[in-house]
C-alpha cells in the first residue's frame, strides 16, 4: 500500500537560485535513490501552513521508515536546511475511502487539499463523506484522489486530496451554494477544518529513457 511522506518548508530569502540547484542536482536524486519516489512539489497559492510541499511516496511504511533512518537521508536533510526554514514532515497512509491516487500530474494541475479532525461517530462521518460530501466535490469538478490519515505529524489528522485543472473554475465552484451547504454539513462532524489551493512547484518530466525534474519559477 502506498505510504506518503510530505515535506514542508519555506525557501530562505535570497537563496532561491542555490535552492533550485540543490534540489535538482542533489536532494531529489538522493531521495529517489532511497526508494522514496519524488512525485512533485507544490506551492501554496491560497492557504497557510508552509510555502512549499514536496510530495514523496514509498511502496510501504517499512521501506519508508528504513529510508528515513538512513545516514543518506540525514545528510540530505542537513544540507536542505541551508536553503529552507520551518522544515517539517508528515507520514500519511490511505484511510480506505476514495482511493484513486496516482503519481501523474499534468502541466496545469492544481490541488484543493482539505484537512480536518473527526469529532463524531465514525459511522456518521463515513456516511456523510461517502454519500454527500465527496460526491459534491466530484460534481464541482474536484477529483478526490484519496483520503489520507496522518500517521506521524501535526494535526489535522485527515487529508482529503482533491485535484483539478482550472484554478479559475475551481474558485468559482467553491462559491457555489451546494458546495457551501456540504461544507456546513461536514463541519457538524469535524473540527479544525482547513483548506489550501496548491500549484505545481516541482514537476517530473518523463522522457523516453529517463526521468528529470523542473522547478516552476
What pLDDT score does 207 carry? 57
Domain 3-94+200-215 has CATH 3.30.70.100: yes
What pLDDT score does 209 carry? 53
Helix residue ranges per DSSP H, the chain = 16-22, 28-33, 61-68, 71-80, 122-128, 134-139, 167-174, 177-187
Q: Are strands 211-215 and 3-11 parallel, antiparallel or unpaired?
A: unpaired
Tell me 64's DSSP state. H
pLDDT digits (tens, 9 = 90+) for 106-154: 888 999 999 999 998 999 999 999 999 999 999 999 999 999 999 999 9
Distance of CA 137 to the CA centre of its chain: 17
What pLDDT score does 10 carry? 97
- Regions in the chain scoring below 70 on pLDDT: 207-210
Rounded to whole angstroms, how far apart are CA atoms 115 and 129?
A: 13
Q: The C-alpha cell of 158 is what?
A: 485527515
Q: The C-alpha cell of 192 is what?
A: 479544525
Domain 110-199 has CATH 3.30.70.100: yes
Supply the pTM of this predicted model. 0.92
- The segment(s) of the chain belonging to CATH 3.30.70.100 are 3-94+200-215, 110-199
What pLDDT score does 206 carry? 72
Residue 94 burial class via C-beta count within 10 angstroms: exposed 0-12, middle 13-18, buried 19 and up: middle
Amino acid at each position: 500500500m502506498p505510504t506518503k511522506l510530505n515535506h514542508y518548508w519555506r525557501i530562505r530569502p535570497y537563496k532561491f537560485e542555490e535552492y533550485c540547484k540543490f534540489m535538482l542536482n542533489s536532494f531529489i536524486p538522493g531521495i529517489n535513490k532511497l526508494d522514496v519516489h519524488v512525485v512533485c512539489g507544490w506551492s501554496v497559492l491560497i492557504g497557510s501552513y508552509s510555502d512549499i510541499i514536496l510530495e514523496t511516496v514509498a511502496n510501504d511504511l517499512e521501506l519508508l521508515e528504513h529510508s528515513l533512518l538512513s545516514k543518506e537521508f540525514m545528510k540530505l536533510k542537513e544540507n536542505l536546511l541551508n536553503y529552507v526554514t520551518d522544515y517539517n514532515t508528515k507520514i500519511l497512509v490511505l484511510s480506505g475511502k476514495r482511493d484513486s491516487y496516482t503519481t501523474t500530474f499534468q502541466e496545469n494541475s492544481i490541488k484543493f487539499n482539505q484537512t480536518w479532525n473527526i469529532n463524531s461517530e465514525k459511522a456518521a462521518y463515513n456516511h456523510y463523506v461517502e454519500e454527500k460530501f465527496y460526491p459534491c466535490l466530484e460534481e464541482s469538478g474536484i477529483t478526490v484522489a484519496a483520503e489520507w490519515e496522518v500517521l506521524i505529524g501535526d494535526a489535522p489528522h485527515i487529508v482529503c486530496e482533491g485535484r483539478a485543472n482550472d484554478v479559475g473554475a475551481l474558485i468559482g465552484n467553491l462559491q457555489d451554494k451546494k458546495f457551501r451547504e456540504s461544507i456546513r454539513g461536514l463541519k457538524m462532524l469535524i473540527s479544525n477544518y482547513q483548506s489550501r489551493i496548491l500549484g505545481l512547484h516541482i514537476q517530473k518530466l518523463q522522457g523516453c529513457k529517463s526521468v528529470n525534474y523542473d522547478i516552476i519559477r
